[in-house]
Chain A
């Protein structure tokens, strides 16, 4: 404690009085006025830990503060931290506001919170054991049966299950707020699939980097151990059998508002990120469908709500779950974290009964109380609530019930009458809660030249079950109200967040990071073979669309340049180029090429144009966000947000845009070539690209053969990016023999038919060593024919052997696509349908 008290002591009494820079920074900071203030303990007197922060912050010129803010903001945008907000017209990628100033909590204060959270987690786990088991709390009248039975969160199919280790509640989160007297209260409990721990981790990585010295000096406790405990505990509690213990993170998919966090956590914990369609039930167990076959799943960290986990036994309209999961959980062959039905605890109706339950089940008074809450299902409580209606907020007892909270203070006479009527009709459906004036904390205010403003805050704290009891993350996700005067602090309402710094009483334990975890040889094998089929399909299509965008861009550039007559090519090549554009879908026979080509280049309403293909690429990349580096994402984002899109563009602007696209596509393929591990996933991406390119090359050659009389050949070289090579080899104008040699037979040219055919063939052979027949026989004979072609005899456009081989390869590319779909991807498309029989 001696060390810590020195650390917490302000550098000198003078430091608690604002310096002049600080005065300027705080010029618009409002007095707390009936709230607790996290920054000041008295007018003009900073709290000790803030005095230290402020002296750090103001020791450098004000511009430096701004620079740090800007840097942190760039980092947030670049790393794609988003919080998808349902029905947000801005779409799925609203940047998420992270305030750079952390919330700081002193050690002794934290000890109280920690003990209270542990007690609540234990208590809730016991309540869940009871509700879904003997139901003695209901029978003894400690909980009104109608309170439980009226909740949609009470899942009858989840009763009498075989719960591994007796742990229903693996991950628990509580939303805390601080009342004017400085006490922390629980506003809400999160028990089914709490979100936010991943965001807390991300915030920590960003904010600790923004203030490295301060972070060290304050002795901030690290949060990494919490995640290691989560990973190890799930493995500990999980049932065993059928190979190494496999834990997966089950996500509703990229359209869920917290998908970013799912991807982040899965990566950090080393769990495969799966969707319902990736899992299946066999012999009473859950299995992961991978391209290498089924792998037994022992534990599921789920981020899907209770009701959506199993269309067979729970909500039949859920397209997200795993049919049969409930029965596997019932048998205890899989650990579901949190156990099905845990959501019942989230009902506000339970809160008023907690003190009694705590005494009864733990023999201790409740350490961390909930804010005063009345369940209207009790007549006395309802009368009590109506007596002080102005001070309360009324909410549904069932948190899934779609109803905005009603603030008593907002109601006029008619509103009050309506509220009374609603409550009288179904009192058991509602709770009344006291309004808490939450504490205010300092935030950097961009709108006012980076001065410090005040916002209401709430704190989400996390606990995880371990074999030694619950462990609390030293920190958490601080949530910030979106404006100075908002009563409900919520991410979905457009608020922001802060990192949470818990100061250490002793030396900070830095010995541990997740990166040092024990990876066994078994784990390595599993990671390689366990790629979900859905992921592989997306990788394959990423390759295809990336190449298709490149093909479309090059073809459009060629066609538009031909129109401009800008080439140094004296031949007339417009006819074959337009024919190819038509075959590619860019033009229709009766289109006016002049206007349609530009539209195909810049306008999304052209169904086969460049923007439409870029959108398709973006969609696939979106589904792969957890597997692709941020650089990929940034590159695609840059294109999608290009200002030229969907406007009336001049020819010059259009060509500029096409050039940008081609450069970006080269960047993307560079990432794949240079940055991706050569695993089976990469192999599928690469085959996807090669197949698309081969099909395009064949189509191009077919078109050239057809127009062999009426045009020159420079366009062929230009489209295949081979003009430079050609000119360095032959000083003559393009002729069929050398052009076909370069574009068909030259195994060293990545845009030759030979190069791609051989590449596809050998990649398929590699896959076949693991997965059996994959389609190499589709390319073997054609490859053999290519190798046996005699340049002198065969390399001219009338040669049927050459033309047949090109035709054959183009159709092989299509057949391979169908084969892959059937062999590897098929189930990813099959939608589950619920049926009812009378």
Chain B
């Protein structure tokens, strides 16, 4: 892991995210809501973004959701048997990880809710509460406790939890679906990035900490002799925990590490359902097949050496 941490220069990526539905019967009409535009943040700049829809949308509009993430809404009113949504983005990412060794004791972060400014507190409060896919679970609190002994600094405790999930849980795309509950993931110790993100959020919230779900992409890097990073062939998900004084710190429980330069952020919410990359309602098909392909590659830029 040493080599990733040492990498601190900004990196520019080209991300291609293609979603293809193949329907068993002709779809008469379709309405979709997409979270596919990478978010502009202090550490992330979106240089270009384009979505191509096939068949062409009869109407579409862009806007933003409650959390400030970009959304694209579109409708197709011509009969079709297949839908392809091809999103392509050029994104520049800067390193943004604070000093993990520093920071307040985690108990202080729980008690500190009242010390934040009104706007902060207000924004953070919603990420401390249970949400439909991340209910409050006593067994999650129990699992988390090991990483949170009395007095431990919050960032270090969160990183420890991140690593434990990576070690204790098996990455297994066959084990779960998009609607699998945290309780089952915890019981079976298997899942994918979405499950591990929900699990870690449940752990942090059960201790009274604020945590949010991040949707995005991870670098698809296959150095010789190393296995690919899990989750790189599809869209990825990880977690941000709030730390008084430092703000939101990103952790990737699927890969057991802090999320920094190898990650492109699409957006965040309380859980998966707030930032589902593509959700829709179709009229007229009995079943559908879904194929998702993601590629994320560094591109040479004028600024980089």
Contact = CB atoms under 8 A, between A and B. Distances in A.
Interface of A: 135, 138-141, 145-146, 149-150, 152, 156-157, 159, 280-284, 311-313, 316, 323-324, 327, 425-426, 428, 827, 830-838
Contact of B178 (A150, A283, A838): A838
A284 B73 CA distance: 11
Interface of B: 19, 21, 28-29, 31-33, 59, 61, 65-67, 73, 75, 77, 85, 118-119, 121-122, 125-126, 128-130, 132, 136, 138, 178, 194, 234-235, 274, 276-285, 288, 290, 292
Nearest to B73: A327
B interface majority secondary structure: mixed
A834 B279 contact: yes
B280 A834 contact: yes
Contacts of B85: 837
B34 to A, nearest CB: 8
Contacts of A157: 65-66
A150 B21 CA distance: 35
Contacts of A152: 132
Contacts of A150: 129-130
Most buried by B among A139, A282, A836: A836
Given A139-B122, A141-B118, A323-B31, A830 B283 contact: yes
Contacts of A428: 129
B279 A836 contact: yes
B277 A837 contact: yes
Contact of B281 (A149, A283, A311, A837): A311
Given A425-B138, A830-B283, 10 more contacts: A145-B121, A146-B128, A156-B67, A156-B274, A280-B29, A284-B59, A324-B31, A832-B281, A833-B285, A837-B278
B278 A832 contact: no
Contact of A838 (B29, B67, B292): B292
Contact of B21 (A141, A282, A835): A835
A837 B125 CA distance: 29
A827 B283 contact: yes
Contact of A156 (B65, B235, B284): B65
A312 B31 contact: yes
A836 B281 contact: no
B125 A149 contact: yes
Most buried by B among A157, A159, A835: A835
A349 B132 CA distance: 19
A388 B227 CA distance: 61
A139 B136 contact: no
B282 A833 contact: yes
9 contacts: A135-B122, A141-B118, A145-B122, A156-B274, A316-B281, A426-B136, A833-B283, A837-B279, A838-B234
Contacts of A425: 136, 138
Contacts, number: 105
B18 to A, nearest CB: 10
Contact of B279 (A140, A283, A316, A831): A316
B66 A312 contact: no
A215 B66 CA distance: 53
Most buried by B among A150, A282, A834, A838: A838
Most buried by B among A138, A283, A837: A837
A745 to B, nearest CB: 44
Contacts of B285: 833
Contacts of B282: 832-833, 835
A837 B276 contact: yes
A821 to B, nearest CB: 14
A324 B281 CA distance: 9
A837 B292 contact: yes
A425 B137 CA distance: 9
A138 B280 contact: no
A836 B35 CA distance: 12
A135 B66 CA distance: 12
Contacts of A311: 281
Most buried by B among A145, A149, A324, A833: A833
A327 B31 CA distance: 11
Given A145-B121, A312-B33, A425-B136, A836 B276 contact: yes
Contacts of B292: 837-838
Contacts of B29: 280
B277 A838 contact: yes
Given A281-B31, A837-B278, A837-B290, A832 B283 contact: yes
